[in-house]
A and B are shown apart, each in its own frame.
Chain A
Amino acid sequence: MPGILSELRVLELTHRPSGAYCAKLLADQGADTIKVEPPGWGDQARHEPPFIDEVPHPDRGTSYLAFNTNKRGITLDVEQAAGRELFERLAATADIILESYSPGRLAELGLGYEQLSQSNPGLILVSITYFGQNGPYANDHGDDLVAQAMGGYLYAVTGSASQPPMGTALEQMEITAARNGAVAVMAALFRRGQSGKGNHIDVSTMEAAVSTPSGLIHPYTYTGRNPHRGGSDGNVMDGMHLPTLDGEVTLTTAGTGGRPMEAWAEFLEEPGLLDPKFASRGGRMEHWEELHGLVAPKLAQWNNLDLMRETMARGLVVGLVQTPQQVVESPHLEERGFFVEMDHAEAGPLKYPGSGFFIDGENAMASARPAPRLGEHNVEILCGELGLTVRDLGLLRAARAI
């Protein structure tokens, strides 16, 4: 099926995973998404390890490949007049532009919302930065870890109470900012449908981090206590990771009808769990090492997939701590048709995650175009759509404008 957003054009002029991922969310739903990269070097993510087959090559960075599906790519130097002129012409055809420059920089280049919306009043410009467009931190530098720290996530969420703060892997604050950005874009599209007018949207990654855990702010203002990391410390039945034959699992006391130790004693065939000292959550925390000594050896006899099947059959709730490899090979995801296979000219065939939802039974990832190579669609877009000749392209290339 053609993607839901297939009538829309998106330009991506961003420098961080948040912008790339936000544009990907739109591209995966069919939006004609053009990634605009600086000539020569391109998106910084092209140059960040790890690389497919460990070959450092601008088309093999795994973050780059993962976050740029279903886009076309061109190179333009918007710092140069020639590049700016081409960008303006493209901007006139765009519904949505995503950018991540320091606040005000785009306007200095003559490409700010005020300027671009004059010829394209329906334009939706999304600025997605670490600290937003105004306020004392607006010009600060950031990255995912800084956003985790400044967003309160680092202090309160992931690590152990007795150790320094520790963040979550794989730049999740960037992802969260991107998901919020996509919601904002959809809302702006509805507004535009009514008023004909676009708007300038301001997304802050720091604020995305603050809003992400189930509330740092209001638990504090209700109780006067700062939420603190370490929720899984010593929590054998509700948080710790416990080894299995081929991986790890985390248990829960859910699905046990309020009698968790009876249910788990029966399942694991370990009557020691019925000791009254484990009956309450407090007791289990107090005697966690002893409890661990009873539970861990039993779980260590199970294969992950068998354990999942048998606990599921009994209504017990566990989480397999799957390695990425196990996720890729998951029979469940295979049966659902979640992964989308794409063959990239440089990286080869790979299975990419879908969108996380199916519409009328169909994988909602609309098309299957792997990430563009640097400037891959220069001719297609700059000549095919903007009417430049191949000779013009040569001149612009020599001038390092494309």
Chain B
Amino acid sequence: MAEKGILDGVRVLTLEQVHALPWGTGFLADLGADVIRVESPDHLQDRKSGPFPGGTAGEEWWNEAGNLVYYGTRNKRSLCMDVTNPRGKEVFLKLVEKADIVTDNFRPGTMQRFGFDHDSLSAINPRIITLSSTAYGYTGPWRRAGSRARTVDAACGLSYLTGYEGGPSQRASPNYMDHSVGNNVAYALLLALYQRARTGKGMRVDLTMLETGVSSVGPAILEAQRDITRDRLGCAHWWKAPHNVYPARGDDRWIVIVVSSDTEWESLKEAMGRPQWAEGAKFATALARWQNRHELDELIGNWTSQQDDLELARSLQGLGIAAGSAMTAEDLVNDYHLRERGYLWEFANPQAPAVGSRVFAGRPFKDPGNPMSIAKVAGLGEDNEEILAELAGLSPAEIGKLESEGVVFGAPRPDEPRP
């Protein structure tokens, strides 16, 4: 929890796995909410997901994955408890009395089976906000379908539209949809809290990856209704040229150059040393440049391929031309702009001493009123006792009994396979 964050006093119970929902609740945690990740001892995939130092899981692998710091349990608390056990269920329902939000990303039906559906929780706490983050939602013929972020990348239309010019469709990303959904989860939860502050009433939010994805490709959705075909163009553009990625000096080095006007084209010609080929009618107008863009791209590529992309990007930007290196992660970690802006966060997790200090991406927005940082990263079951004593009102003896009877856990079961 961030010190005196803006959501100080807001408590979230989250039954979350994989990526999208943890990413969403992570915003609330960074803003100071008390986000309690209720983890099952039987589903430790997230804690096995890595990355691990040097690619190898260590002795206390369950606290060492980098993904835990990036979104899994950062600024959250961890309660490792089997909620399918009747005692675990009872404790969970006690926590609901003191919670503002319950989120899950099970398939529709699972929460009901646990007795944790909205109506059951609302009967205990009428102010409760529940949010289920699923692929396809609680209604509709696909509600029971499983998913991965990339299968919804496909289903929402984004994959079909993505591809090299003239080539087949290709998924945009294995996990872009996770992030879009996480962002939408955070937005929806903040809206729900905002609404509840006025009405005093809880609500049920049914948020889907498919629909978040479709809402991200709106122009294509309108076009489809009027038979407009959106061709795949790779890095090329509907009307700008040059607008592409060009080879630079070195192995797998690339630079993007974008020209949006005649003035910028003149500047680019200047930068290239006014070569003869650039002066002809073929490239004199925006329309001509776009129509002859394949030839133009090849000629520009010949020029860029001799140059250092990082230096060239700086010199083109100095001339007012939009340009940028295709940055690798290594470039980004060393990038002086990101460093100066304080975007990169270094963190050494005391729960995973073997890992040491590592660098993480920060948040892409800065608000002096809402500073964010990494205060802690919850180890598995790290906060069991604190949560059970303070929120569920259990005595040390009762907590000890839950531990000995296999309801709450401070470490994986002894026979848990290592990642």
- Please report A residues at the B interface, Cβ cutoff 8 Å: 4-5, 25, 29, 48-50, 52-54, 62-63, 65-67, 131-132, 134-137, 140-143, 145-160, 163-170, 172, 175-177, 179-184, 186-191, 193-195, 197, 199-208, 210-227, 231-232, 239, 241, 248-250, 252, 254-255, 308-309, 311-312, 315-328, 331-333, 335-336, 338, 347, 350-361, 364
Contacts and interface: CB of A to CB of B under 8 A. Distances in A.
5 contacts: A143-B322, A167-B234, A168-B173, A347-B222, A356-B207
B399 interface: no
Contacts of A312: 142, 144-146
B192 A359 contact: yes
A177 B364 contact: yes
A146 B322 contact: yes
Given A132-B366, A216-B329, A347-B222, 18 more contacts: A146-B256, A149-B324, A152-B327, A166-B163, A187-B31, A187-B370, A190-B194, A195-B369, A204-B341, A213-B173, A220-B330, A231-B174, A321-B160, A323-B160, A324-B230, A351-B225, A356-B211, A356-B212
Interface string B221-241: 111111010101011011110
B187 A182 contact: yes
B417 to A, nearest CB: 12
A321 B170 CA distance: 9
A187 B6 contact: yes
B115 interface: no
Given A65-B222, A157-B173, A336-B140, A180 B363 contact: yes
A165 B164 CA distance: 9
Given A146-B323, A190-B6, A327-B157, A199 B367 contact: yes
Contact of B360 (A141, A218, A223, A361): A218
Contact of A332 (B6, B136, B188, B343): B136
B11 to A, nearest CB: 15
A62 B223 contact: yes
B140 A168 contact: no
B17 interface: no
B321 interface: yes
A139 to B, nearest CB: 8
Contact of B224 (A155, A176, A184, A327): A327
Contacts of B359: 217-218, 221
Given A142-B324, A217-B332, A357-B206, A248 B169 contact: yes
A272 B55 CA distance: 34
User: Which 5 pairs from chain A and chain B are nearest by CB?
Assistant: A319-B151, A66-B218, A220-B329, A207-B364, A319-B154
Contacts of A199: 367-370
Contacts of A317: 145-148, 151
A250 B171 contact: yes
Given A159-B164, A312-B145, A201 B366 contact: yes
Contacts of A163: 164
Interface residues of B, number: 143
A29 B192 CA distance: 11
A191 to B, nearest CB: 4
Contacts of A252: 148, 151
Nearest to B118: A360
B364 A135 contact: no
B254 A164 contact: yes
Interface in B176-222: 176, 178-181, 183-184, 186-188, 190-195, 197, 203-208, 210-212, 214-222
Interface string B395-413: 0000000000000000000
B158 interface: yes
B91 interface: no
Contacts of B221: 66, 324, 327-328, 351-353
Contact of A183 (B27, B131, B180, B323): B27
Contacts of B53: 222-223
B113 interface: no
A359 B55 CA distance: 42
Interface in B128-157: 131, 136-137, 139-142, 144-148, 150-157
A177 B235 CA distance: 19
Given A149-B327, A321-B154, A188 B370 contact: yes
Contact of B178 (A131, A190, A204, A214): A214
Contacts of B344: 217
B331 interface: yes
A331 B141 contact: yes
